[in-house]
Structure 1
Amino acid sequence: MDKLLLIFQREYLTRVRKKSFLIMSLVGPLLTVALFAVPVMIAKMSDSGKVVAISDAGGLFQTLPEDNDGLRFTRVSADLPTAKAEFNKTKYDALLHVPKLDLVNPNGFQVFSRKGLGMSLENDMRRAVEDAVENQRLRQAGIDRATLDNMKVKVELQTISLSDEGERSSSTGVSTGVAYACGFLIYIFIFMYGIQIMRGVMEEKTSRIVEVVISSVKPFQLMMGKVLGIAAVGFTQLLIWVLLSLGIATAMAGSMSPEKMVQDRVERVNSASVTGTRPAKQSQEESNKIVKALRQADLNVPLLVGCFLFYFLGGYLFYGALFGAIGAAVDNETDTQQFMLPVTMPLVLTFVVSQAVLTTNPNGPVAFWMSMFPFTSPIAMMMRLPFGGVPTWQLALSMLLLIGGFVFAIWVAARIYRVGILMYGKKITYGELSKWLFYKG
């Protein structure tokens, strides 16, 4: 045990003292926020300040479409040659020409631009034309647009989970977000630190340091100390990320809280409704929906946190042992590809399937079996739990199978590790690995 602790301490301290660890631990949360925020900001900046000129020869637009997200419409001459000349003298982004048209079969619309149109701008113009045609048809049919809008009904569904503990309100949107966050964290950390184990074993093997080390400790102790030491590094970095994320969220809570964002949106919408560009009642209802969705979720936080820690550690130890065995079996990273594919494919498959199956049917047969199989259960079960409805016996069975899978993976990895750690210059095959499992000694 003393030797195991010594190896654990060496692996842990060696990595946490590196500048790369400190930089990623401090900058990681900011990079994560930037990963999602920067594309949105760039998209908004690129779409802002757009001006579309409308040449309405058919009299389609009785009133110009309202300004929306930085997009503004202006009217130019109905004569197309005159409109083109006016367009060339200005900095308008596009010229929309509306010909004299038949409302039964409207066609012949043209869009002129100096550069290629973006998908967002083209969709906005198409939507504006469709709304204008619809308004004209309603007017010809003698139907008042306001009356038609009042007849439309939007029904809100309150989702309630029934379980042995009783009734619990839930929110599908919030549950999906939590599920993706948990699954993504486990996925990333298993890859990051599993590969560190593999490379660490390969470095010691190629530098022949291991020949000196195993004269004092058993190969199994060396592997376990390395796996557990790097696991502690992962937990340390995760804890730092959580604390920094909470600090950032607290600092931004005053100006970026959901309630504040919704209130700002309501104020902007109400100011727009004064000018007649949008009904205040409809906007208020949409804003209320956002607030309700944020407050509706009633997640079992202690259960989620406890299970996340278990599956985070269990998944890492399971895959860490396999990555360590791969590192012991090969001499360079080129040879690792043939062995990494069968190990990493279940992780990738789980994350891909989660988008189509696990979050849409979290209690279906596919989700059940994937949450039982040790190769996929760390991610699959954590993506099921936020939705609720997972029976206690399924959760317990999944945990037992993961523990059993880890024990079996450790046994397999130790058998491979004890032989491969001292083998050099030989091309290893799957048949050769299977023989190592049953060598005596």
Structure 2
Amino acid sequence: MSTDTSSDTSSGSSTETSARRDDREPAWLLVTRREIVSRITDKSFLIGTALMIVMIVGFIGFTAWQDEKTETATLGATPEAMAMATAIKDNAADVDDKLKVTLVELDDEDAAKTALREEDVDAWLHPVDGGWELTSESSEQDSLTDVARVVVRQQVLADNAAGVGSTVQALEAGSTVSTDFLRGDAEKAGVAEAVGFVFVFLFYFSALIFGMQLASSVIEEKQSRIVEIIAAAIPLRHLLAGKVLGNTALAVIQLLVYLAVGLVGLSFTPYKSYVPSLSGPTVWFLGFFLAGFVALACLWAVAGSLASRTEDLQATSTPLTMLMLAMFFGGLSLEGRGQVIASFLPPVSAVVMPKRILAGGVAWWEPLVALGLLALFAGATVWVGERLYRRALLQTGGRVSLRQAWSAAE
């Protein structure tokens, strides 16, 4: 009689526990929150993110400093050349806005040579038969020479025009040469190429770092047998979903920070005019990153479940590492028809299609088709990966092969 009462009590308690569990949030959401909180409070994660931000800011700052850096040059001139030297000094900014010319008056030729030897001046301007000469101590002053040639030509042309009763504009009429680009602006193409490299690198970096950490956490739980306790409380597919979603959320948040810092920093450089045109490709990149990362994160979880010890991870993750290297180098080196084909081929399309969008000339439907195929690939990867993960995770007798995991009993 007492046994029946105990059984009824136990059954009632179990029912109440189940009811309370049903009232709580889903198990996968609990795992997702745990993954995010544990990582976002980890000092190594925060320090790594901060260091990457410092590197991005430093690189952009150095680029801006290099582009805005002003070069100074000291120009010496004897009395007969002072008028021309003054014209060079006054008009230098119109020719090269990064060159500032300082003028030094010299008494004669001997004083000029002495000033050059003692490095008091960078160059000495003086008239010679048929024109002007810029003499330096041992090497040509490139920026100063370029400015001097333009200004001297303008001054001489103006003087000659005045001598024949004409104007410079009249003499130069019909002599201008304009430029156009058959295949687009070379500078814009260079910026697109640089940003494309950043996209490829960020995808590879995030997928590798977060993937390795995800796989390591799976191995730690498996090796310590904690996963057996977790498996008794929640379905393993919920555990996998929580891990993948948690790491995906962290990767996307980190990526958004990097991209925001990069675009804001770029707006303070001479390339700020390109920021609006980079916004669209950046949004596309986020979409491709999300689909591609989910697929790879699931595969990293499988790599961790196949291993029984940390030492096994190198072997179980080798195919995945090779795939990621192929994506990285393919994203950087593919061109022409090979690039077009790869931009539709998952998972390489996650890095190749954003590069093509940056370069321009992509039909509106191409990114949609490529993203759709990548999403289908991610879905298939999650379906296959979930089966392998569930069947390999609780096997602790040694490293599990893919064939063993696929054919193992539930």
**Pairwise same-fold verdict (TM > 0.5):** yes
Counterpart AA for 1:35: F
2: distance between equivalents of 1:226 and 1:347? 23
User: Which of 368, 372, 377 matches 2:340?
Assistant: 368
Q: 1:439: how far off?
A: 4.3
Q: Is 2:123 aligned against 1:95?
A: yes
1: distance between equivalents of 2:167 and 2:52? 55
Residue 151 of structure 1 aligns to a residue whose secondary structure is: coil
1: distance between equivalents of 2:114 and 2:397? 77
| Counterpart in the other structure of 2:143 | 124
Q: 1:138: how far off?
A: 6.8
| Counterpart in the other structure of 2:251 | 234
Provide Cα deviations, 1:210-234, integer angstroms capped at 9, x if missing partner: 5321454366554432121111123
User: Which of 165, 168, 175 matches 1:151?
Assistant: 175
Determine if contact 1:199/1:327 at 8 Å carries over to the other structure.
Answer: no
Instruction: Determine what percentage of the aligned residue pairs are the same residue.
Output: 17
Q: 1:411: how far off?
A: 5.3
Q: 1:11: how far off?
A: 0.7
Q: 1:123: how far off?
A: 3.2
Q: 1:380: how far off?
A: 2.5
Determine if contact 1:4/1:221 at 8 Å carries over to the other structure.
Answer: yes
Provide Cα deviations, 1:159-218, integer angstroms capped at 9, x if missing partner: 9xxxxxxxxxx9997798678658735741552254223124225525755532145436
1: distance between equivalents of 2:83 and 2:305? 72
1: distance between equivalents of 2:125 and 2:312? 60
Residues 319 and 180 of structure 1, relative CA distance in 2, 3 Å threshold: farther
Determine if contact 1:322/1:343 at 8 Å carries over to the other structure.
Answer: no
Name which of structure 1's ranges 382-391 and 396-405 shifts more when overlaid on structure 2: 382-391
| Counterpart in the other structure of 2:296 | 319
Counterpart AA for 1:195: I
Residue 225 of structure 1 aligns to a residue whose secondary structure is: helix
Counterpart AA for 1:317: V
1: distance between equivalents of 2:330 and 2:290? 18
Residues 348 and 16 of structure 1, relative CA distance in 2, 3 Å threshold: same
TM-score by length of 2: 0.63
Counterpart AA for 1:212: I
Residue 225 of structure 2 aligns to a residue whose secondary structure is: helix
Residue 398 of structure 1 aligns to a residue whose secondary structure is: helix
Residue 101 of structure 2 aligns to a residue whose secondary structure is: strand
Residues 22 and 438 of structure 1, relative CA distance in 2, 3 Å threshold: closer
Determine if contact 1:95/1:112 at 8 Å carries over to the other structure.
Answer: yes
Counterpart AA for 1:372: F
1: distance between equivalents of 2:116 and 2:149? 23
Determine if contact 1:11/1:226 at 8 Å carries over to the other structure.
Answer: yes
2: distance between equivalents of 1:17 and 1:204? 19
Q: Which structure has more helix as a fraction of its residues?
A: 2
2: distance between equivalents of 1:32 and 1:324? 30
Residue 147 of structure 2 aligns to a residue whose secondary structure is: helix
Counterpart AA for 2:325: M
| Counterpart in the other structure of 2:75 | 53
1: distance between equivalents of 2:394 and 2:74? 68
Residues 181 and 245 of structure 1, relative CA distance in 2, 3 Å threshold: closer
Equivalences for 1:294-373 in 2 at 5 Å? Answer: 307-328=284-305, 331-332=310-311, 335=314, 339=319, 341-353=321-333, 357=335, 365-373=337-345
Equivalences for 1:37-52 in 2 at 5 Å? Answer: 37-41=61-65, 44-45=68-69, 47-48=70-71, 50-52=72-74
Name which of structure 1's ranges 185-194 and 308-317 shifts more when overlaid on structure 2: 185-194
Residues 388 and 233 of structure 1, relative CA distance in 2, 3 Å threshold: same
User: Which of 31, 56, 60 matches 1:7?
Assistant: 31
Residue 154 of structure 1 aligns to a residue whose secondary structure is: coil
* Number of residue pairs aligned between Structure 1 and Structure 2: 366
Determine if contact 2:211/2:300 at 8 Å carries over to the other structure.
Answer: yes
Residue 251 of structure 2 aligns to a residue whose secondary structure is: helix
Provide Cα deviations, 1:343-371, integer angstroms capped at 9, x if missing partner: 222442354248xx5xxxxxx63443122
User: In terms of Rg, which structure is larger?
Assistant: 2
Counterpart AA for 2:206: M
1: distance between equivalents of 2:168 and 2:320? 62
1: distance between equivalents of 2:338 and 2:218? 41
Determine if contact 1:176/1:386 at 8 Å carries over to the other structure.
Answer: no
2: distance between equivalents of 1:2 and 1:294? 44
Residues 72 and 438 of structure 1, relative CA distance in 2, 3 Å threshold: same
TM-score by length of 1: 0.60
2: distance between equivalents of 1:3 and 1:376? 32
Residue 52 of structure 1 aligns to a residue whose secondary structure is: strand
Residue 374 of structure 1 aligns to a residue whose secondary structure is: coil
User: Which of 71, 86, 92 matches 1:67?
Assistant: 92
| Counterpart in the other structure of 1:268 | none
Q: 1:340: how far off?
A: 5.8
Q: Is 2:211 aligned against 1:197?
A: yes
Q: Is 2:349 aligned against 1:377?
A: yes
Residues 150 and 199 of structure 1, relative CA distance in 2, 3 Å threshold: same
Provide Cα deviations, 1:365-410, integer angstroms capped at 9, x if missing partner: 3443122011321233233346666445533431232123223433
Determine if contact 1:174/1:294 at 8 Å carries over to the other structure.
Answer: yes
In structure 2, the gaps of 5 or more residues are 1-24
2: distance between equivalents of 1:145 and 1:77? 31
| Counterpart in the other structure of 1:271 | none
2: distance between equivalents of 1:149 and 1:423? 86
